[in-house]
Structure 1
Amino acid sequence: MTSLRVMSVNIRYDNPKDGPNRWCFRKKSLATLIKEVNPDIFGSQEGWEDQINELKTLLPQYKYYVSAPEWNRKRMFPCVWVREDINIRESNTLWLSPTPVIPFSKVSGSIFPRSTTYVIAQKANTPFLFINAHLDLASEEVRLKQTTILLREIEKVNHKSYPMILVGDFNTTSTSPIYTVLTEKFIDVWKWLELPEEHTFHGFTGRGMRGRIDWILVSSEVIIKKAKILKQTPFDVYPSDHFPVMAELEL
């Protein structure tokens, strides 16, 4: 068995309206939390290019993967971060649209173009597929379209049937149609461990709201050992407006 610690965090884009919670005041808090958790691999959602590069400077033991043909203030890519001892065989970013290989394409009704970044990775002698996604805020109908495309693209990528880990900000809860569709193929680590439902969005208040919208899902081959919502505040600053989530797994 190969142990694997994974994590997912929406890092919140650098919004000037966030005042004392702006990126410049919390980036060290986020980096410190990640160092404390020490995941083998994790997914980040949101984040502009300068934020991602600043986080990389603070986390030199990680390399991030994303296929970003053009960074700008309206394009926030899901990135996959991998510790140095993880080997990467393949990586790519696909768009959750009818034309996944066309950058910035989107489904009708989506507020922003949404994408997913994946890596086929290997720890020790064990290969696995890690996928990071961020679904739209617009509506359940839009998210359902994106979920259908996400599952179709995962099936194409995973033609060798690797164990799979899907993380992300799904902008919906475990009572949604999107959750039902995804859990026909994946296991929710939180539900499998029979943990009580919590909230993962808190808007820099520390008081959860909107339900558990950040998930870690795995294929049936993956052994689930532990899962946790991370509420630490290094330097007394919230790392993000979302609580990160982590899981300890075995492959």
Structure 2
Amino acid sequence: MSYNIRYDNPNDGENRWDRRKQAVVDLVKHYEPLVLGIQEGLHRQVAYLDSSLVDYAYFGVGREDGKTKGEYSAVFYHQREVKLIQQGTFWLSETSEKPSVGWDAALERICTYGLLEHQATQQRFWVFNTHFDHRGAKARNQSARLIMRKINELNTDDLPVVLMGDFNLLPINKPIRYLKTQLQDGKKITQKAFYGPRGTFNGFRPKPLLLKRIDYVFVRKFKVESYTHIDDRTSENLWVSDHLPVFCTLSF
């Protein structure tokens, strides 16, 4: 599952984090993803999810200092089902090994990754979770290519790979078209019919058209059994976040 949970912005009014946070936890507990990649989580949000999702552990860092400052692209994993072997974070910039703003980006951007082992099958696989810049066109182009270089550098054993996140790009945009030449768009290869609205961004609007697909799950060497954009709401009929979670069932 990939989920932009919307950063804790006190100016969000009825959609502020304090009113949504239990609904986020309830949604995750209901769908029970083995792996959950979040975007926009501030440290206090990540800590809340970590304490509430007792079956999960996580890895990741804040993008501003590589510790706890700024938004995380944290990866949560179900501890009974999945074992963490290796993890790290790199910055989407020309100096990817340290906190930095890349190219024409407005902000620091990161990709958090992990090598995981599925306990039941002992199959290992890589997960990459990211959040592209919302302004810099060059940054988005270069970020896609940097991530593919990192995937190829790390994945020396040619293991299955998942790349997920909020790419701030539509399917027709050049970086997404490039990624589709390197990986498979899970939505395109799902064995069961895709389910849910076409888009993933609702902007907290009560009745959005939901046409903007900017959140994706890409795969390599995985079968995609199902691919869903979840449009669940809270008990007050509000959106759980300003993005819809993308939920996939994968098999080796």
User: What's the TM-score, normalizing by structure 2?
Assistant: 0.91
> In 2, are the aligned partners of 1:200 and 1:208 still within 8 Å (CA)?
no
- Corresponding position: 1:87 with 2:83: yes
- Corresponding position: 1:11 with 2:5: yes
Amino acid aligned to 1:120: L
Gaps of 5+ in 2: none
**Which residue of structure 2 aligns with residue 77 of structure 1?**
72
Deviation at 1:106, TM superposition (A): 2.2
**Which residue of structure 2 aligns with residue 111 of structure 1?**
106
Q: Which range moves more in the overlay, 21-30 or 141-150?
A: 141-150
> In 2, are the aligned partners of 1:201 and 1:208 still within 8 Å (CA)?
no
Deviation at 1:235, TM superposition (A): 2.2
> In 1, are the aligned partners of 2:227 and 2:246 still within 8 Å (CA)?
yes
Give distance in 2, aligned partners of 1:49 and 1:172. Answer: 26
Give distance in 2, aligned partners of 1:172 and 1:210. Answer: 12
**Which residue of structure 1 aligns with residue 140 of structure 2?**
143
Amino acid aligned to 2:202: H
Give distance in 2, aligned partners of 1:79 and 1:67. Answer: 7
Equivalent position SS for 2:146: helix
**Which residue of structure 1 aligns with residue 223 of structure 2?**
223
Deviations 1:53-106 (A, max 9, x none): 01111111111111443323xx2120000001211110001111112111x212
- Corresponding position: 1:99 with 2:100: no
Structure 2 counterpart of 1:161, from 153, 158, 162 = 158
> In 2, are the aligned partners of 1:229 and 1:243 still within 8 Å (CA)?
yes
Which of the pair has the greater relative contact order for Cα pairs under 8 Å at 6+ separation? 1
Deviation at 1:192, TM superposition (A): 2.1
Q: CA RMSD in A?
A: 1.5
Deviation at 1:210, TM superposition (A): 5.8
Deviation at 1:156, TM superposition (A): 1.1
> In 1, are the aligned partners of 2:106 and 2:136 still within 8 Å (CA)?
no
Give distance in 1, aligned partners of 2:83 and 2:139. Answer: 35
% identical equivalent positions: 29
> In 1, are the aligned partners of 2:57 and 2:76 still within 8 Å (CA)?
yes
User: What's the TM-score, normalizing by structure 1?
Assistant: 0.92
Give distance in 2, aligned partners of 1:177 and 1:20. Answer: 36
- Corresponding position: 1:49 with 2:43: yes
Deviations 1:224-244 (A, max 9, x none): 100101111132332110011
Count of matched residue pairs: 241
Equivalent position SS for 1:44: strand
